[in-house]
Amino acid sequence: MSSLSLFKDVPFAEKLEGSLLKAYKQDDYPKKLFLAYRVCMTDDGHPWVSLVVQKIRLQIAQDPSLNYEYLPMMGMKSFIQASLELLFGKHSQAIVENRVGGVHTVGDSGAFQLGAQFLRIWRGDAQTVCIISAQKELYGPVFQAIGFTVYEYCIWNPKKLFTDPDIFLEVVEHIPVGCVLVIGNIVDCRLTQSQWIKLMSIIKSKQIFLFFDIPCQGLSTGDLEEDSRILKHFVSVGFEFFCSQSLSKNFGIYDEGVGVLVVAALSNRHLLCVLSQLMNYAQALWLNPPATGARIITSILCNHALLVEWKKSLEGIVENIMLIKEKVKEKLRLLGTPGSWDHITEQSGSHGYLGLNYQQVEYLVKKKHIYIPKNSRINFTCINTSNISYITQSIHEAVIFTRDSQAS
């Protein structure tokens, strides 16, 4: 009977991610470690949540006057407004001129999905999406599924151990005219004034469509302004673009997917046309976005005292990340591990490259049961007082081992 199934031609789908985590889970070694979680962890190994979020969550649950009606298709208006002000700054000229707006989405995947659908239809000539980032991003498949040809470029320079503006510029020089350029989280990429000018001129002359990703504003440098600097730069000189703004990570509301697809246009008229089209696509995708996360975030962003509290919690976690990195570096120095480890503290944010080669990574995974991705980009908040010595000692051994094995 089962051979007659309507699904008989459907094969088991290859999983798109998670093999490292799977291997970790199957490992019986008691001291095994997984250093690639997506979210910031606290020192006791739990996902970080801004304390002010917990407080507001409770306040909302206790409010009998709250209305749980469907949100409008565009999403929660006050949430979109507050998110835009967070991104561009309250007194941004673009906000004053009503030429930036947004659609409330189901997280950043939702924002990319929505934006990609729009671009597929309204920039039909753009067949190509080029993704530039300091890491491997999750949204390549989103564009691929919609029919774009996707090229991904990692601008982390594994030899020089930094996010390399030269690679950035070289990539942009060679990508096709009229393509969509997704610029991932590249806060650490320091372009000189002349590089900036060159970049903008290429983008303009090639009629490239920009699509930014601001996945965790405030969690990179601890400074909200600094983390959206690149975006403010582009909007101030009159570029039009999309931007996926996620607010799940920087508030610690991972399980709600709170995002905005931000649209920057030359005028309010163009903005309203684009938003109206996006709204129709959003209707087919999810009709109404989920409200809980947005409600919590809006309560915080629109209340000065809560906002200050939240900002402090961001600064706190970023300081903590820096402290962990400093400690890792210091421990490697004390162990006499060959090589310079300054790149660890030169990278901002929770995630960063250890700067190990494949062989060293393999040593950590196979011999030490420390699960890290092949590119050695780890989540530093997974390192805490109880595992730091084991981790640094293991890195030391990996480096020594591979040096010895290469020498022999």
Chosen residue from 85, 127, 141, 195 binding a second copy by CB under 8 A: 141
Q: With binding defined as CB under 8 A, does residue 276 bind a second copy?
A: yes
Q: Tell me how far, at minimum, the Cβ of 139 lies from a second copy, in Å.
A: 8
Asked if 5 touches a second copy (CB under 8 A), the answer is: yes
- What HEC string does 224-280 produce? HHHHCHHHHHHHHCCCCEEEEEECCCCCCCHHHCEEEEEEECCCHHHHHHHHHHHHH
30 touching a second copy, by CB under 8 A: no
* 7 part of the interface to a second copy, by CB under 8 A: yes
Contact 24, 32 (CB under 8 A): yes
Q: In the set 237, 266, 323, 334, which binds a second copy (CB under 8 A)?
A: 266
Q: Which one of residues 288, 303, 345, 384 is an interface residue with a second copy (CB under 8 A)?
A: 288
Question: What stretch of H or E contains 56?
Answer: helix 51-61
Query: What is the smallest separation between the CB atom of 390 and a second copy, expressed in angstroms?
Result: 24
Nearer to a second copy, 283 or 359 (CB): 283
151: left (phi over 0), alpha (psi -120 to 50) or beta: beta
Query: And the tokens for 145?
Result: 């599924």
Task: Go through 306-329 and write b for each residue having 16 or more CB atoms within 10 A of its CB, e for each that does not.
Answer: bbebbbebbeebbebbeebbebbb
CB of 302 vs a second copy, minimal distance in Å: 18
For a second copy, the closer CB: 277 or 357: 277
Q: Does 291 help bind a second copy (rule: CB under 8 A)?
A: yes
Which residue has tokens 């993704």?
131
- Residue 162 or 254: the one with the smaller Cβ distance to a second copy is 254
Tokens at residue 266, please? 């030359």
Q: Does position 359 bind a second copy by CB under 8 A?
A: no
Residue of 98, 201, 267, 385 that binds a second copy (CB under 8 A)? 267
69 contributes a contact to a second copy by CB under 8 A: yes
78: contact with a second copy by CB under 8 A: no
Q: Name which of 165 and 290 has its Cβ closer to a second copy.
A: 290
Closer residue to a second copy in complex, CB, 350/394: 350
CA distance 246 to 260: 7
Min separation Cβ 315 and a second copy, Å = 21
Given candidates 25, 43, 93, 122, which one binds a second copy under the rule CB under 8 A? 122
> 358 is written with which tokens?
């494949």
Provide CB contacts within 8 A for 358, sequence distance 6+. Answer: 374
Give the whole-angstrom CA distance, residue 163 versus residue 272.
Answer: 36
179 near a second copy (CB under 8 A): no
**Which CB atom, from 164 or from 240, has the smaller least distance to a second copy?**
240
Q: Is 222 in the site for a second copy (CB under 8 A)?
A: no
The site that binds a second copy (CB under 8 A) totals a number of residues, namely: 77
DSSP 31-53: T-EE---SS-B-TTSSB---HHH
